[in-house]
């Protein structure tokens, strides 16, 4: 049985994961109208992934005797100065999500809920991967600078990253 404090914290994380899905979806739509098909595909895929993270939490809360709350979401930003700035914002968002997961893990220790602590270790590992991926992409973007040919190649390559991460996620779960 979940404590009320932990149930509230988990419901907050459900909202954060849902909003993350919306952030990625908004970025996908922006990239798509800019003709950046690879980036759009990458973002659409990650939007789906964030939604699955949310659903996993919803099911967990309900299975542990709590009530997962589906709440109103904050609207994501819909326009970006450049694809570089968009990925910088994405990286900052992933850091925010990591902090939120870490805070949630701290609550499990305060509440001595070791089952939920164990459950959340998957999210801790996932956030390490998400941050590393965003940092790697930012490094590639910084190498490109304002080179249009580089952007074309990056757009194509980021689509490949999406395919590879989808394949590894399928194999890993």
Point out the annotated binding site.
Answer: 17, 50, 53, 94, 127
Contacts of 108 (CB under 8 A, 6+ apart): 6, 114, 116, 117, 120
Residues annotated in the binding site for Fe cation, as ranges?
Answer: 17, 50, 53, 94, 127
d(CA 52, CA 27): 18
d(CA 30, CA 24): 10
**Pair 97, 20: CB distance under 8 Å:** yes
Q: Token pair of 2, please?
A: 């979940």
Contacts of 106 (CB under 8 A, 6+ apart): none
**Pair 30, 79: CB distance under 8 Å:** yes
């Amino acid at each position: 049985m979940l404590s009320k404090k932990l149930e509230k914290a988990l419901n907050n994380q459900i909202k954060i994961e849902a909003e993350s899905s919306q952030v990625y979806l908004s970025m996908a739509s922006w990239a798509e109208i800019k003709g950046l098909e690879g980036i759009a595909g990458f973002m659409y895929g990650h939007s789906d992934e964030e939604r699955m993270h949310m659903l996993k939490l919803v099911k967990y809360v309900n299975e542990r005797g709590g009530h997962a709350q589906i709440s109103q979401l904050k609207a994501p930003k819909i326009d970006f100065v450049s694809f570089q700035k968009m990925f910088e914002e994405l990286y900052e968002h992933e850091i925010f999500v990591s902090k939120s997961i870490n805070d949630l893990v701290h609550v499990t220790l305060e509440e001595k809920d070791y089952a939920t602590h164990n459950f959340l270790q998957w999210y801790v590992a996932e956030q390490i991967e998400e941050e590393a991926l965003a940092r790697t992409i930012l490094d590639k973007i910084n190498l490109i600078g304002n080179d249009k040919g580089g952007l074309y190649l990056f757009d194509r390559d980021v689509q490949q990253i999406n395919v590879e991460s989808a394949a590894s996620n399928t194999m890993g779960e």
